[in-house]
Copies of this chain bind each other. A is one copy, B any other.
């Protein structure tokens, strides 16, 4: 079995996408982060979901989460207003996570080796032009390797 056989389609976001829209993409899929691609569809980085929350939540709540309890406003409004008019690029941390990539014919062990070097439980599968054709999650990889 090869990388292409276990890769799945995943929603991606562009750097210039409004971050509010990206937050909804994040909520709509079972992933800990968002894959950011360039205009040609080449994976650039991963935006961790916790980073989106970090940029959205008022800082006094992060300093003292108990204060969040007294906010008399719908949680969705607080988060979407906190994101404001920023784009995905505005939310990316200075030190970006590198999203590792493999070619479609990579073996599962090769994918495991690439993922082992990373702190991100995701590997992109890219074609000869580095365009993403799918992605492999840690869970998907272990499902196939350990047969669960």
Interface residues of A (CB under 8 A from B): 23-24, 26-33, 48-50, 53-54, 56-57, 61-62, 65-69, 71, 75-76, 78-80, 102, 106-110, 112-121, 138-139, 142-143, 145-148
Contact = CB atoms under 8 A, between A and B. Distances in A.
> Residue among A75, A80, A112, A116 with the most chain B CB within 10 A?
A116
Given A50-B119, A116-B53, A61 B138 contact: no
A48 to B, nearest CB: 7
B56 A109 contact: no
30 contacts: A23-B142, A23-B146, A26-B139, A27-B139, A27-B142, A27-B146, A27-B148, A32-B32, A48-B119, A50-B118, A50-B120, A50-B138, A53-B112, A54-B116, A56-B116, A57-B113, A61-B110, A61-B112, A62-B116, A65-B102, A65-B114, A68-B113, A69-B106, A69-B107, A69-B110, A75-B108, A75-B109, A75-B145, A78-B109, A79-B146
A121 B50 contact: yes
Contacts of A29: 139
Contacts of A24: 146, 148
